Every structure is written in C-alpha cells, then in structure tokens.
Amino acid sequence: MQIENFIDGKFTPPIDGNYLPNLNPANGELNSMIPDSSHDDVNSAVNAAKSAFSNWSKLTINERIDWLRQIADGLEQRKADIARLECEDTGKPISLAERVDAERSITNFSFFADHAKSIADLEFRMDDATNYVIRKPVGVVGLITPWNLPLYLLSWKIAPALVMGNTIIAKPSELTPSTANLLCEVLDSIDFPKGVINIVQGLGSTVGQAIVEHPEIRAISFTGGTETGKIVARTAAPMFKKLSLELGGKNATIILDDVDLASAAKGAARAAFTNSGQVCLCGSRILVADKIYHEFVDLLVEEVEAMKVGNPKHRDTDIGSVISIAHKDKIHSYIDLAKSEGGEILTGSEFTIPPPNANGAFVAPTLIANLNIDSRCAVEEIFGPVATIHRFTTDEEAIRMANITQYGLAGSIWTGDRARGVAVANQIDSGILWVNTWLHRDLRTPFGGVKNSGVGREGGDWSLNFFSELCNICVKDD
C-alpha cells in the first residue's frame, strides 16, 4: 500500500516523488510506503491552510462542533481499522490498541465538541467600564506527534485546534503514519471542508523542521522527546510562535509501607509495562519502603512474569514488540549497562518468539534492582519495558529520590492512607500525580510536565486557550 499526503482535501503524492518504508516492528514486514516529503510539500499545505482559514474561522462555534461530531462518528465506524493499523505500525497488542488508542482517538473529538460548548464568556466589570474577553483563532497551526500513541495524541491536538477555528498542518511520526491517513479517509468521506486539516508525512528533520520554521505557522504544539523539544524551542522561540511542548519523563512509582501489597504490585506492574513501557507517563523507577521491600518485590515479579509477551495480533498478548529493532537495541544497551554497574536482573531474561514474529523487536519486561538512584538507568528515559527498583526508609527520602531527575512529568503514590499519599504527591516536582491509581484521566484536567518534561498544559480549557488568542476589549460606560 502507498500512503499519500492529504493537502487541500486531496490525497497528494510528495512533490519530489520520494517515499520511505513503514515496517511492522513485530514481524519486519512492510506495512506501506509513505511520502518522504520536503519543504515544498509543507509550503503547499500552508497555502491550502491559509486559503481555508477565512471560511473555517468564520463558522460559528456550533458549526465547528458539529464537524467534530461528524469526525467522531466517522472514526467510530472505522474503530476496528484504527486498532489494527496501530497494532501493525507499533507492534502493540491489539487489545490495547482497541481499548486505549481507538477508544481515545474517537473520544478526543467528542470530548472537545462537548467541552467547547461549555466555554463561558469572560467579562470583568469596573466602576466605569466593562472588559469583554474574546477568543480569536491563532491562524495556521503546526501539530507534531510521536509514535507511541499515534492517533490518540494527534487527535488530542487536532480536535481543540479545529474547534477554536484554526487550520492545521499536522505531521505524525514517520514510524506510525497509518491512522493519520485513516483520519484523512474519514475527512474525505464526510466532505470535510478542504484545506482545514492537512497531513504531511515524512521525517522530523525535514517535514517537522519545515513546519516549525515556517513563518506563516503561528503556533506549534509538539509532543515528543526532550532533545527534539530543545530543537523545536530553539527554532520557534525567536519567531515568537505560541509553543506547547509535551516532552519526556522518568516517573516514580512510590510504594509506601502501609499499602495493600497485592493491589500496589498490580498497579506498579501496569504503570511500568503498559505499551511496553512506551508511554511518557510510565512509572519506570519503583521506590519501595524498606519495611515491605522483599514482600512487595516478590509480588511484583510474580505480576510481571504473568504478563504474556508475544504476537500482538493475539488477543491474550499483554506485551507486544517495541517500536523498532533500533529501539530494541537501545533498550538492550541500557540493560547491559545496568548489569555492568552491578544491577541485579530480577526478571526479564532473553527469550524467543515463534514465527511469524521470530525477528520482531521484542523485549521482555525487565525489573532491575541494586542500582544507585542516580545511575543512568534510573534517571534517563529508556522508554521501554525496563524498570529499576530502589529502597527508601522515610517519606522524605522517597520524595528526594523521586525529584532527582531532570524530568517532572508524572508519578504515582500507593498507600493505605490517602492524606499521606496526597502530602507526598504535593512535594513531587511533576505535573501529574496519582494516588492509588495510574493513568486515570479526566480530559478536563491540565496535562503537562515541569522541568525538562515540557512547557505549557494541554487538556480541557488549557487546550482551548492554547489554540486561541485571548483579546480584551474594554468599553467605557456612557
């Protein structure tokens, strides 16, 4: 299959005629060829988005909400295809792709349709005047997303950008192009206005860079790694673009000594290994109170060893492949480093997967003990199924250990005492914390990180604000 760009409502081959292979990491098979687009394709998409802006931005918010609902309905009809394509592009288990990726990609459109209905008019009365705060669209916006949750993260940006009246140039990861293309098929099938959403496929260094540096793209919403975020910020900041950066994480899971051990072990295993640890929110450093350390670790190892690793198409698979052979090699290099630094591998030995997945990018869920809390495996984002385990004696020590990384995205605290959990959560330098749960999301809440995990917040009003220019009109009384 050959995927094309989607520009001005048409499936359009890349101007230079170059294509890249898109491989299934679970078996090495070719999924599709995708455009290896250039600056020229981005320019042509920006021209289409600029022309579409005047009509789209003039629609009423209710008319735009209606379009969001039509997209959600169109995606709902393709739900099984979304899950299958995410499974084939990423190697994640089909059951996870159905439950998380397909479900949330649709919900993002219906959520922002509902949420936009609730935007309140802001007015500030003075003794002798009234201030009216109005929202205008920003203009043409650039959306750049990673491979771990492809349509889930792309739709999380597209829906609020659309509803606020912007037109869009979006670039999915070159490793996971298929569901963005499916979205274009849905747009085509519902006669969505041309040029409002343009998808340019290709590499980050060419297409991504061209989007970030294009002078007529007025806002950039980027989700990806911290190092790429630095490049994006360096390019966009001097152009005074609005910028939202959702970056990497190295999140702590803190197990306090008063916890229900069995449920904490289940929670910690899920937090560490969902999507093979390839979720920015994964808890890849597990801090355990000394008093319960051995009992907890035994239960955790049992949970992890019960996870079935294998063919992502099988319904009973818990852990599929990682995103690529190169990523598998990177993850293994961290495991080797851990061993060389005296780390004890509690579970996660080498294993073989039968055909047709024998050459897939599989890594067993791996737990490593006995590393220093500031060792590279404990502080760098591995973004794979690897978690390190560390002991602490007091809550203060756990907080200090949680806070020593450059990141500040998320974390979870597991305890029998909610007030104690909240007190610990309050002292962790992260944007998102859970007590006795993980990845439990209310889409109205702010989402984003502190320190090197990002700048800005997404979710609910925060997304709507990012994709608007708030302007104040002060009217003096007669």
Positions marked active-site:
246, 280
The yes or no reply on residue 150 touching ligand NAD (CB under 6 A) is: no
DSSP 156-195: HHHHHHHHTT-EEEEE--TT--HHHHHHHHHHHHTTPPTT
Q: In the sheet that 242-246 helps form, which strands lie side by side, from edge to edge?
A: 10-12, 5-7, 197-199, 167-171, 140-144, 219-223, 242-246, 454-455
Q: Are 92 and 81 in contact, with CB atoms under 8 Å apart?
A: no
Q: Compute the least distance from the CB of residue 101 to ligand NAD, in Å.
A: 12
DSSP 75-112: HHHTHHHHHHHHHHHH---HHHIIIIIIHHHHHHHHHH
Binder among 65, 102, 232, 367 for ligand NAD (CB under 6 A):
232
The yes or no reply on residue 204 touching ligand NAD (CB under 6 A) is: yes
CA–CA separation, 258 and 395 (whole Å): 12
Amino acid at 204: G
Task: Mark the segment that binds ligand NAD (CB under 6 A) among 111-119, 224-232, 344-352, 356-364.
Answer: 224-232
Amino acid at 358: A
DSSP state, residue 398: H
* Count of CA atoms in the C-beta half-sphere (13 A) of 411: 32
Binder among 74, 139, 249, 283 for ligand NAD (CB under 6 A):
249
Binder among 27, 166, 223, 311 for ligand NAD (CB under 6 A):
223
Binder among 9, 35, 139, 146 for ligand NAD (CB under 6 A):
146
* Count of CA atoms in the C-beta half-sphere (13 A) of 261: 15
Nearer to ligand NAD (CB atom), residue 84 or residue 327: 327
Binder among 74, 160, 177, 208 for ligand NAD (CB under 6 A):
208
Binder among 157, 171, 270, 390 for ligand NAD (CB under 6 A):
171
Task: Mark the segment that binds ligand NAD (CB under 6 A) among 168-176, 269-277, 350-358, 461-469.
Answer: 168-176
Q: Are 147 and 323 in contact, with CB atoms under 8 Å apart?
A: yes
Hey, what are 253's tokens? 């899971």
Q: Compute the least distance from the CB of residue 141 to ligand NAD, in Å.
A: 14
As separate numbers, helices (DSSP H) first and strands (DSSP E) second, the chain gives 16, 22
Task: Mark the segment that binds ligand NAD (CB under 6 A) among 25-33, 61-69, 245-253, 412-420.
Answer: 245-253
User: Which residue bears the tokens 């916890």?
Assistant: 259
Q: Compute the least distance from the CB of residue 50 to ligand NAD, in Å.
A: 20
Hey, what are 347's tokens? 């579970």
The yes or no reply on residue 407 touching ligand NAD (CB under 6 A) is: no
In the chain, the largest separation of any two C-alpha atoms, in whole Å, equals 81
**Count of residues interacting with ligand NAD (CB under 6 A):** 31
The yes or no reply on residue 22 touching ligand NAD (CB under 6 A) is: no
Beta strand 386-392 with 366-369 is: parallel
Taking residues 437 to 476 in sequence order and writing x for each that binds ligand NAD by CB under 6 A, - otherwise, the string is ------------x----x----------------------
Q: Compute the least distance from the CB of residue 279 to ligand NAD, in Å.
A: 7
Q: Are 22 and 31 in contact, with CB atoms under 8 Å apart?
A: yes
Task: Mark the segment that binds ligand NAD (CB under 6 A) among 197-205, 266-274, 292-300, 466-474.
Answer: 197-205
- The 10 Å CB-count burial string (b at 16+, else e) for 319-351 is bbbbbbeebbeebeebbebbeeeebebbbbeee
- Residue least distant from ligand NAD (Cβ): 204
Hey, what are 48's tokens? 């289409």
DSSP 31-52: EEEEE---HHHHHHHHHHHHHH
Nearer to ligand NAD (CB atom), residue 190 or residue 326: 326
Nearer to ligand NAD (CB atom), residue 119 or residue 239: 239
Nearer to ligand NAD (CB atom), residue 178 or residue 311: 178
The yes or no reply on residue 383 touching ligand NAD (CB under 6 A) is: yes
The yes or no reply on residue 89 touching ligand NAD (CB under 6 A) is: no
The yes or no reply on residue 409 touching ligand NAD (CB under 6 A) is: yes
Amino acid at 216: E
Nearer to ligand NAD (CB atom), residue 312 or residue 384: 384
Nearer to ligand NAD (CB atom), residue 56 or residue 156: 156
User: Which residue bears the tokens 């995205």?
Assistant: 409
Taking residues 343 to 382 in sequence order and writing x for each that binds ligand NAD by CB under 6 A, - otherwise, the string is --------------------------------------x-
Q: Are 120 and 200 in contact, with CB atoms under 8 Å apart?
A: no
Residues that bind ligand NAD (CB under 6 A): 144-148, 153, 171, 173-174, 203-205, 208-209, 212, 223-225, 228, 231-232, 246-249, 280, 381, 383, 409, 449, 454
